[in-house]
Amino acid sequence: MWIRACSSLWMLGGFLLIIYLGHLYILAMVVVIQIFMASELFNLLRRAHEDKRLPGFRILNWHFYFTAMLFVYGRILSHQLVNTVTSDKIFYKLVSKLIKYQMVICYFLYIAGVMWFILTLKKKMYKYQFGQFAWTHMILIVVFTQSAFTVANIFEGIFWFLLPASLIAVNDVAAYFFGFFFGKTPLIKLSPKKTWEGFIGASVVTTISAFVLANVFGHFQWLTCPRKDLSTGWLLCDPGPLFKPEYYPLPGWLSRWVLPWKEVAILPVQWHALCLSLFASSIAPFGGFFASGFKRAFKIKDFGDSIPGHGGFTDRMDCQMVMAVFAYIYHQSFVVPQDYTVEMIINEILRSLTLEEQQILYTKLGQILQERMENSLHFFSLG
């Protein structure tokens, strides 16, 4: 318990520092956690005897891993990368070319890995090698699916990364304490220590925490502003209607006898936070149950020992993976405006067109607008 508490405090302190440093450092943290998770999962099905007979097989696993990383992050961060290098014309052209041919580069890197795998096949080792090949691809799907959504959440605004992650942490801690002090009724056979009392108590605490934390986080532009490039500078932006308070009058008896104010200010994003809390407390824990069943199947206690008292990074990320995907889908479905806005069109232009193409578009738009203004003036003069 003491080791677990100390390592939790160290992790919390490091996490808060990285949040303060900003988007790029959070991205770096996600990448580091990814690498630890992949390493833990790669080692899960390894057999030392077979590995000795297959020199270079581990390097092949990491070749597939970094190819997948180049593909996923190249697709997600292309817009931010282009915006970062626009001041240097030569570097801008180089980056634009890399982004344009990124899919081709990744494809041939992957094909090279497959060819490497085929050329290293050995008699009496086929089953083990193909098992490792399939296991590697499953790891890539699991790790990069959730991390891709996590990175997308970060650049939409740290708020959409921090709030879901905080809700999972609150739910875990609350479930532990409610289960420890009040738990009597088992919840699920896969995790005998999980109880209904812990589950219900954690749900209530998580819902209340979501409403409060959304209000606290929503007042900091550093957390709510989206990042359009890969710089680390301070952010200032219009927070938008989601982060502007709306005032609700309180009933007369409540303001007269209980509370000293007549109205209460609520950020619209707090209502969205309640939806996230419902998922974090009722569905995301099944990521943990799945991991528990997985570990039982392989007869292991933890995925690794990277974090003293907690096991491996995979042990801590099981629910976070489920939550990150939901947070992104919820944000895109219910928060982002579904109609095209001027900002969305400009972002698409910056992402898809080169600097020269943007200049041509600017000139064409100027000509079209000038023609329309001349036609309008001509129409009014006739009238």
Same-domain status, 311 and 281: yes
Residue 300: pLDDT over 80: yes
Sign, CA dihedral 82-85-89-95, equals negative
Phi, psi of 53 (to 5 degrees): -85, -5
Q: Hey, what amino acid is at 210?
A: A
Based on the fold, state whether residues 239 and 371 are members of the same structural domain: no
Is residue 255 domain-shared with residue 363, that is, in the same domain?
Answer: no
**CA-based radius of gyration for the chain:** 26
Residue 104 lies in a domain: no
- Decide if 88 is inside a domain: no
- Residue 134, token pair as written in the block: 């399939």
* pLDDT in the model for residue 169: 93
Is the domain of 287 the same as that of 305? yes
Same domain, 254 and 357: no
Whether 67 maps to a domain, the answer reads: no
Name the percent of the chain lying above pLDDT 70: 90
256 shares a domain with 234: yes
141 shares a domain with 254: yes
Nearest CA among 206, 213, 207, 212 for reference residue 177: 206
Q: What is the pLDDT of residue 260?
A: 73
Kindly report the pTM of this predicted structure: 0.84
**Residue 108, in any domain of the structure:** no
Same domain, 278 and 359: no
Domain-embedded: residue 107: no
| CA–CA dist 100, 78 (Å, integer) | 9
Model pLDDT, residue 175: 93
Domain shared by 274 and 366, yes or no: no
Burial readout 84-101 (b: 16 or more C-beta within 10 A, e: otherwise): bbeeeeeebeebbeebee
**Structural domain that includes position 188:** 1-47+122-339
150 and 187 assigned to the same domain: yes
Give the helix ranges, DSSP H, for the chain: 2-21, 23-44, 48-52, 57-84, 89-100, 102-119, 126-156, 159-182, 196-217, 221-224, 252-257, 269-282, 285-297, 313-330, 342-352, 355-382
Written as one letter, the residue type at 313 is: F
Total of domains in the chain: 2
pLDDT tens digits along 138-183: 999 988 888 889 999 999 999 999 999 999 999 999 998 999 899 8
Side chain identity, residue 268: P
**What one-letter code names the amino acid at 241?**
P
Please indicate, yes or no, whether residues 303 and 351 belong to a single structural domain of this protein: no
